[in-house]
Amino acid sequence: MNTHMSVGLVQHACTEDRKHNLQASVSGICEAHRQGAELVLLPELHCHPYFCRFEDATMFELSESIPGPTTEQLSRVAAELGVVIVASIFERRARGLYHNTAVVLERNGEITGTYRKMHIPDDPGYYEKFYFAPGDQGFRPIPTSAGTLGVLVCWDQWFPEAARLMALAGADLLLYPSAIGWDRNDTEQERARQCDAWITIQRAHAIANSLPLAVCNRWGLEQSARENDAGIEFWGSSFIAGPQGEVLFQAPCAEDAVHSVTLDLARSAALRHQWPYLRDRRVDAYQGLLSRYLD
Amino acid sequence: MNTHMSVGLVQHACTEDRKHNLQASVSGICEAHRQGAELVLLPELHCHPYFCRFEDATMFELSESIPGPTTEQLSRVAAELGVVIVASIFERRARGLYHNTAVVLERNGEITGTYRKMHIPDDPGYYEKFYFAPGDQGFRPIPTSAGTLGVLVCWDQWFPEAARLMALAGADLLLYPSAIGWDRNDTEQERARQCDAWITIQRAHAIANSLPLAVCNRWGLEQSARENDAGIEFWGSSFIAGPQGEVLFQAPCAEDAVHSVTLDLARSAALRHQWPYLRDRRVDAYQGLLSRYLD
């Protein structure tokens, strides 16, 4: 059995022009495929500017069904190239019910699974609770011809619980489409700490579960004409890490990047034999994890 | 309210001579106190060589009760200096029942709490399941005059669940006495990956819980006269991180180190307001964390 699998990521900026953004995603997929990628990861909500910067009901018009226009176009690309694609859609499930949803397209073009973002942020500039209902599918990895994918989305990346649940359910690989950036009012030191924390905690999910991991973030300043809008400077820095958290590739913070890395999925098994965390979890003593707080 | 607190760590090597080792711990505590430390963390099992390298029943003679000779001596030091000490003891609870136990001594010398290591490793060179019964006190932080301490021990550091439970139960600070090192047969690259993974996953516990963290490891080669014993080269590298996982101090890998850092415990609250992970945990969807595996 060949345990080697090449994963690619496509980091790009997102403009107001949906067609332009989707073209950037598709061009990147083609380039990643030329590099040998069997699986390509796109950034979170890659067809749109990050509209959650404000609460604005007109933005619901950006939503679409699954299947819908974006998945149909990407399905054709998946089938033409024979690659698995992990896309990210502003999903309209019903009028008044929307999700932030990752879609996995098989290399024959079929939709093979979806993951609805479970942890929804809400803080200044990231008003996602206004737009997205929390996912109701739980943490279910998606089996594909390129491995069983533990797909999570952005804010999920700060929760070790999410990565662990994907690992316990058999994920071979953790994948995080993201849209995260700097508040331009923050100091350089604070910016460095935030981006480093973001990389570190995701590397730690790889380590804790002995799984490789890929993260794809958008880059670029998104700023509106609204008064006092400092905008968000999305920090790119998409990366791929091995199952010891070792960084195998990291993109720059402010430019397009397409890169593929060949992973050996057999390393996870070897590591789990060396340091067998799954054997030693104290499941008899973890009840408190189901509480909001232990007071 | 003064939210500043100075934490010190004492990294030393451990020989066959218990008295010598305890003297190294005490000297380090005095030095940390001179530097202003109100709380001092010692390495795991700091009175002994790492006897778990082999399964050897004669080693049970190294165990002691709590209170016992080591806690009595350290209690005197705590009271003389007025510092809180986190020590690590091979606890004899009964004949045939031993634990790997951290003890917290208040600045008046009283034993204010213990933590019995919950996750017990067992792999070549770390035969702890032979020596230690798994802790049965759960993950309870220990309130002290220097903050509420989330004391965990070594192997616990690979489990995000442990850090999370301490945070949910009100810990102000995470503390990890450790004894971890390199197999001398490993390549330089593998050694670098292991030590970096160890640092990274612990920094991630700080990040995930917006808590500062200190880790104290022993250093030095421990090797016996047994045939084919390559020994373990304990890698030191003790460190203190802030609540964004930022490294505030890191000791060298192969020498004694005593260092104190002043932490501002109020930064945790500010961070939790900025990125409120505790608000968004999906406690309704974490049931699987109580399973060994989801098959």
Best residue of A154, A183, A187, A286 to probe chain B, by most B CBs closer than 10 Å: A286
pLDDT mean over B54-71: 97
Q: Could A278 and B288 be called an inter-chain contact, meaning their C-beta atoms sit closer than 8 Å?
A: no
Query: With 90 as the cut, is the pLDDT of residue B2 above it?
Result: no
A4-290 belongs to which CATH class?
A: alpha beta
> Which regions in chain A score pLDDT beneath 70?
1
Q: Could A292 and B285 be called an inter-chain contact, meaning their C-beta atoms sit closer than 8 Å?
A: no
What are the structural domain ranges in chain B? Answer: 4-290
Q: Of B139, B274, B295, which is closest to A285 when you measure between CB atoms?
A: B139
Check if the beta carbon of residue B28 is closer than 8 Å to that of residue B258: yes
Q: Could A278 and B292 be called an inter-chain contact, meaning their C-beta atoms sit closer than 8 Å?
A: yes
Query: With 80 as the cut, is the pLDDT of residue B212 above it?
Result: yes
CA distance B54 to chain A (A): 17
Q: Which residues of A touch B160 (CB under 8 A)?
A: 160-161, 164, 204, 208
Answer yes or no: pTM beyond 0.90. Answer: yes
The answer for residues whose C-beta is within 8 angstroms of residue A43's C-beta and 6 or more apart is A10, A11, A12, A14, A88, A177, A178, A179, A216, A217, A218, A238
Q: Could B196 and A281 be called an inter-chain contact, meaning their C-beta atoms sit closer than 8 Å?
A: no
Question: Annotated catalytic sites of A, by residue?
Answer: 44, 117, 154
pLDDT at A1: 59
Check if the beta carbon of residue B71 is closer than 8 Å to that of residue B46: no
Q: Could A196 and B283 be called an inter-chain contact, meaning their C-beta atoms sit closer than 8 Å?
A: no
pLDDT at A226: 86
Q: Of B200, B274, B285, which is closest to A204 when you measure between CB atoms?
A: B200
Q: Could B286 and A207 be called an inter-chain contact, meaning their C-beta atoms sit closer than 8 Å?
A: no
Read off the pLDDT of residues B17-52 as tens digits, 9 standing for 90 and up: 999 999 999 999 999 999 999 999 999 999 999 999
| Structure tokens that stand for B212 in this block | 């500062």
pLDDT at A173: 98
Read off the pLDDT of residues B163-203 as tens digits, 9 standing for 90 and up: 999 999 999 999 999 999 999 899 999 999 999 999 999 99
pLDDT at B154: 97
The dihedrals phi and psi of A247, each to the nearest 5 degrees, come to -80, 120
Residue among A143, A149, A275 at smallest CA distance from A209: A275
Please compute Rg for chain A using Cα positions. 18
Mean pLDDT, chain B, as a whole number?
Answer: 97
Q: Which residues of B touch A290 (CB under 8 A)?
A: 283, 286-287, 289-290
Q: Of A123, A276, A285, which is closest to B275 when you measure between CB atoms?
A: A123
Confidence of residue B228 (pLDDT cuts 50, 70, 90): confident
pLDDT mean over B135-148: 98
CA A261 to chain centre: 17
pLDDT at B1: 59
